[in-house]
């Protein structure tokens, strides 16, 4: 890999997500050479992927060029590449554009869907972890309504208009709410000659309540909002398989749907080369309190890929953007102090709250001891997400879109730029490491 060698320690960061960008912003460029590697040339604001998939926002509203973020930052380099292997013993990484030595390595590769070893579901389900996934889902949703309008087979039409979402965490709940608003307010205008009463949105959750990680008050309120929008909720239900548009569950309940969306779990995702003994729960790399990978001196892991077990979080810190951002800021400060010979305390995650939106004027927010719902929670949710977006332009565009949609109930352009095609592995590019379990 063509990176100049200079008389500064080289810090290589794999991944330009929430944690990676924070390191790039905060690390002292006078004392380190920084190399950012990512398989995309843009940062994705993943909390709003569901709005891209439901045609509420355009993809460029939640994506921001990595090179623009790093512009004018001295001793900083970005390379578009897939990291294939990490050799910690030689302090080297192997990529599809060449090898690179490092003095310090930061793994910030995030998470991937966890299908719990169910090959049928992994093969046939629609994921929503990337911008490409969201655009594929959008094309499929809009294309299916066009197909439903043109088919005379009532059974096929019903399958095309049925949606099954597995997982009632924030992603599943927010997507279900967005689809319900499409059904109730948007699609009747676009498809006046299609009977949308046949459109069903099914939200399946293995836990006894939606938003199981939030307080029962928030969970119950979200449940009420979803039911009011017409979402059918199936609790304590496990999906066993999905094939040929047939969803089977442990309760014997079956669904027939052409759109099956998986939002039921995530696991750490990182390149090959990490010893199995260093991988813990959720396929995450075990680290100490300083985010340093166990049994190493110069490899650090932040965000969803890292596992820090504490008394408060015995199964690891939550896999949230707020954790990744705080760890990125912490690690940059840690490096800055380390090069000056100063000590730093272990990472301490500050829980700033949890929130989810269900639809217009409907959200649930928990900020410490304060729990509130409704329009105030919805405004707080919007404000926080606007502030966290990367780039002033993106904040303005998203705000204008939300304001326009609120006044006119016109949820985006709904263009089918490319027909949906079932995803396939890209030839010649190895995916990041996946471990069974």
pLDDT tens per residue, range 55-101: 999 999 999 999 999 998 999 999 999 999 999 999 999 999 999 99
pLDDT of residue 434: 45
Residue with tokens 């990676």, as numbered in its chain: 20
Q: What residue ranges of the chain are covered by domains with CATH 3.50.50.60?
A: 10-39+81-113+267-338
pLDDT of residue 311: 87
Phi, psi angles (nearest 5°) of residue 293: -60, 135
Q: What residue ranges of the chain are covered by domains with CATH 3.50.50.100?
A: 119-264
pLDDT of residue 369: 85
pLDDT of residue 430: 43
Compute the C-alpha angle 174/268/425, nearest 5°. 85
Sequential DSSP letters for 179-243: HHHIIIIIHHHH-TTS-GGG-EEEEE-SSSSSSTTS-HHHHHHHHHHHHHHT-EEE-S--EEEEE
**CA gap 207, 354 in Å, rounded:** 18
pLDDT of residue 277: 95
Token digits of residue 265: 């779990």
**CA gap 31, 340 in Å, rounded:** 9
CATH class of 10-39+81-113+267-338: alpha beta
* Phi/psi-derived region of residue 24, left when phi > 0, alpha when psi is between -120 and 50, beta in every other case: alpha
- The DSSP bridge partners found for residue 285 are 279, 306
Distances (CA, A) of 196 to 6, 122, 142, 164, 410: 63, 29, 13, 16, 17
Helix (H) or strand (E) holding 26: helix 18-26
The pTM for the full model equals 0.91
pLDDT in tens, the chain (437 residues): 899 999 999 999 999 999 999 999 999 999 999 999 999 999 999 999 999 999 999 999 999 999 999 998 999 999 999 999 999 999 999 999 999 999 999 999 999 999 999 999 999 999 999 999 999 999 999 999 999 999 999 999 999 999 999 999 999 999 999 999 999 999 999 999 999 999 999 999 999 999 999 999 999 999 999 999 999 999 999 999 999 999 999 999 999 999 999 999 899 999 999 999 999 999 999 999 999 999 899 999 999 999 999 888 998 999 999 999 999 999 999 999 999 999 999 999 999 899 999 999 999 999 988 999 999 999 999 999 999 999 999 999 999 999 988 888 776 778 888 777 775 543 333 444 444 33
CB atoms within 10 A of CB 417: 9
119-264, what's its fold?
Answer: FAD/NAD(P)-binding domain (3.50.50)
């Amino acid at each position: 890999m063509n990176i100049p060698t200079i008389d500064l320690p080289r810090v290589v960061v794999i991944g330009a997500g929430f944690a990676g960008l924070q390191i790039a912003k905060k690390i002292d460029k006078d004392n380190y050479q920084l190399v950012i590697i990512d398989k995309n040339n843009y940062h994705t604001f993943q909390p709003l992927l569901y709005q891209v998939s439901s045609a509420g926002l355009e993809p460029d509203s939640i994506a921001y060029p990595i090179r623009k973020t790093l512009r004018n930052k001295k001793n900083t380099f970005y390379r578009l590449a897939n990291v294939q292997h990490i050799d910690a013993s030689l302090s080297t990484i192997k990529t599809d554009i060449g090898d690179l030595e490092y003095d310090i390595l930061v793994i910030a590769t995030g998470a991937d869907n966890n299908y719990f070893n169910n090959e049928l579901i992994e093969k046939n389900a629609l994921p929503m972890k990337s911008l490409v996934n969201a655009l594929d889902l959008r094309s499929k949703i809009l294309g299916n309504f066009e197909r439903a309008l043109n088919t005379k087979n009532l059974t096929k039409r019903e399958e095309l208009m049925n949606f099954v979402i597995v997982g009632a965490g924030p992603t599943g709940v927010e997507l279900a709410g967005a689809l319900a608003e499409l059904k109730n307010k948007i699609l009747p205008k676009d498809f006046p000659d299609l009977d949308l009463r046949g459109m069903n949105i099914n939200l399946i959750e293995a836990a006894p309540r939606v938003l199981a990680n939030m307080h029962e008050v928030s969970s119950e309120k979200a449940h009420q909002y979803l039911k009011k929008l017409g979402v059918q909720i199936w609790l304590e239900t496990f999906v066993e398989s999905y094939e040929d548009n047939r969803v089977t569950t442990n309760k014997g309940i079956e669904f027939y749907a052409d759109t099956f969306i998986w939002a039921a779990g995530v696991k750490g995702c990182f390149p090959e080369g990490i010893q199995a003994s260093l991988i813990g729960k959720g396929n995450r790399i075990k680290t100490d309190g300083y985010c340093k990978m166990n049994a190493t001196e110069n490899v650090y892991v932040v965000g969803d890929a890292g596992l820090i077990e504490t008394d408060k979080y015995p199964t690891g810190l939550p896999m949230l953007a707020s954790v990744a951002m705080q760890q990125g800021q912490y690690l940059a400060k840690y490096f800055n102090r380390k090069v000056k010979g100063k000590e730093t305390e272990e990472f301490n995650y500050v829980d700033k709250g949890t929130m989810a939106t269900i639809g217009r004027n409907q959200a649930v927010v928990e900020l410490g001891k304060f729990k509130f719902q409704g329009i105030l929670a919805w405004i707080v949710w919007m404000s926080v997400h606007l502030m966290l977006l990367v780039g002033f332009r993106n904040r303005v565009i998203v705000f204008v879109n939300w304001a326009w949609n609120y006044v006119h109930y016109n949820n985006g352009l709904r263009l089918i730029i490319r027909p949906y095609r079932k995803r396939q592995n890209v030839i010649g590019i190895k995916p990041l490491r996946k471990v069974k379990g």
